[in-house]
Homo-oligomer: A and B are copies of this chain.
Amino acid sequence: MARINDHYLKLQASYLFSDIAARVDAFAKANPDTPILRMGIGDVTEPLPAACREAFHDAIDEMGTHNGFHGYGPEQGYPFLREAIASGDFQARGCDIHAGEIFVSDGSKCDSGNIQEIFSSKARVAIPDPVYPVYVDTNVMAGRSGFNVNGRYEGLVYLEATAENGYIPSPPKEAVDLVYLCFPNNPTGACATREQLSEWVEWARRHEAVLLYDAAYEAFIRDGSIPHSIYEIEGARECAIEFRSFSKKAGFTGVRCAYTVIPEDLVALDGTGDRVSVHKLWNRRHSTKFNGVAYPVQRAAAAVFSEEGKAEVRRLIDFYMDNADLILGTMRELGFACAGGTNAPYVWIRAGQSSWDLFDQLLDSTGIVCTPGAGFGTCGEGHIRLSAFNSRENVEEAMRRLRDAGLTA
């Protein structure tokens, strides 16, 4: 009889969202007159920019004509989009990345989940804690871990992000082959400085490890000294892969467009000790298991780089970051120690108690729903995440309720 991939059975079921839903339901039943304010949302809420919609519409009209019809496109993306990305997101910031190194995809979740496939199943993997669960789960599925014991998988190396290190983990003492990093970070909102990233790049080159750098939130960086791309660091072309997305930047969570950068300089060893191009391996994977992003979606994404598109993206980012300012200001006023919120849409708040206790306290006293940090890993315990993705009205109302409730740290 057919047998399954047993590694899947090691996966811990996540009850985070169902637990939240159950507590919110109970509150709603007990307090039918208190409107619930969801402040834990990890999804954008503002409309898709007009420049993107216009390009999207035009491409659909093209698809209705014989001459303008587009069938299968290049799996790696159309040159018009790869070139706009290379120029607008990298060369404009002084990064030596060219269009041929960009792989357009339908999402960073797919890319950051699939990238491990091209590496050895025996690769030693380091993963931040707290963390976006996809990095962990996809390595567990691929057999790079043992079982989960007390919330951590045996065999994975955890990079602890705590108040003590400003939520920026340092390179591990033990040798690892693959390291997932995410800056601006989800969930902590922490951003690595140029010096901290340089330390990582230097370490990766010394240990010949590969950094898997998730920069899905780079557009939210407002501090001019913080790098947007790992390729702003000397030497990163030889040790880093970067994931980027239009999701949070331009409201594409329901449109689906992202990309992965793999420099042609990046190599890894095969079983005989020869150096193999990681770029070529990923190209093989991408063209074998993926058929490209919809042509109209690629046109919509390219519009992000137009003058009108750039202005709209700036307005979107400013809007969400003004929300973040309100949240950060209020929480600090109430005495909470906070990270994030200045170069990221998430505010990471020390609970001063267990994360579920503060979750319950917020919900019961104000009808506000946050995300308990424990849902992101062991080091998330003792924290909650508040999100700037919301309407201004909701954020203002939530902050008013927090102050009125007399809540203090």
Chain B residues, Cβ within 8 Å of A61: 53
Q: Is the CB of A60 within 8 A of B53?
A: yes
Asked if A309 is at the interface (CB within 8 A of a chain B CB), the reply is no
Partner of A48, one of B4, B69, B255, B268: B69
Q: Is the CB of B4 within 8 A of A253?
A: no
Q: Is the CB of A109 within 8 A of B289?
A: yes
- A109 CA / B290 CA spacing, docked (Å): 6
Q: Is the CB of A177 within 8 A of B281?
A: no
- Closest partner residue, chain B, to A248 (CB atom): B71
Q: Is the CB of B47 within 8 A of A9?
A: no
Q: Is the CB of B48 within 8 A of A60?
A: yes
Q: Is the CB of A137 within 8 A of B60?
A: no
Instruction: Give this chain's copy count.
Output: 2
Q: Is the CB of A2 within 8 A of B72?
A: no
Q: Is the CB of A2 within 8 A of B268?
A: yes
Residue with the highest number of chain B CB atoms closer than 10 Å, among A3, A134, A137, A208? A3
Q: Is the CB of B118 within 8 A of A8?
A: yes
Q: Which of A163-171, A294-302, A355-363 lies at the interface with chain B?
A: A294-302
> How many Å from the CB of A74 to the closest CB on chain B?
11
> How many Å from the CB of A394 to the closest CB on chain B?
12
Q: Is the CB of A4 within 8 A of B281?
A: yes
Asked if A11 is at the interface (CB within 8 A of a chain B CB), the reply is yes
Partner of A254, one of B2, B8, B11, B70: B70
> How many Å from the CB of A327 to the closest CB on chain B?
19
- A297 CA / B295 CA spacing, docked (Å): 11
Chain B residues, Cβ within 8 Å of A409: none
Q: Is the CB of B113 within 8 A of A2?
A: no
- A148 CA / B254 CA spacing, docked (Å): 42
Q: Is the CB of B254 within 8 A of A69?
A: yes
Q: Is the CB of B290 within 8 A of A3?
A: no
- A38 CA / B136 CA spacing, docked (Å): 47
Q: Is the CB of A270 within 8 A of B118?
A: no
Chain B residues, Cβ within 8 Å of A45: 66, 69, 71
Asked if A120 is at the interface (CB within 8 A of a chain B CB), the reply is yes
Q: Is the CB of A290 within 8 A of B119?
A: no
- Whether A47 touches B71, Cβ cut-off 8 Å, given contacts A6-B271, A134-B288, A289-B138, is no
CB pairs A–B below 8 angstroms (8 shown): A2-B123, A2-B178, A3-B122, A3-B269, A5-B281, A48-B69, A57-B57, A73-B254
Contacts beyond the supplied A48-B69, A113-B289: 7 A-B pairs with Cβ under 8 Å: A2-B119, A3-B123, A4-B276, A46-B66, A73-B254, A117-B141, A296-B296
Of all A-B residue pairs in the complex, the 9 with the closest CB atoms, nearest first, are A1-B208, A113-B289, A43-B71, A3-B120, A71-B253, A70-B254, A2-B177, A48-B63, A2-B268
Interface on A for B, CB 8 Å cutoff?
Answer: 1-6, 8-9, 11, 43-48, 50, 53, 56-57, 60-61, 63-66, 69-73, 106-107, 109-110, 113-114, 117-123, 133-134, 137-138, 141, 177-178, 207-210, 251, 253-256, 268-271, 276, 278, 281, 284-285, 288-297, 391
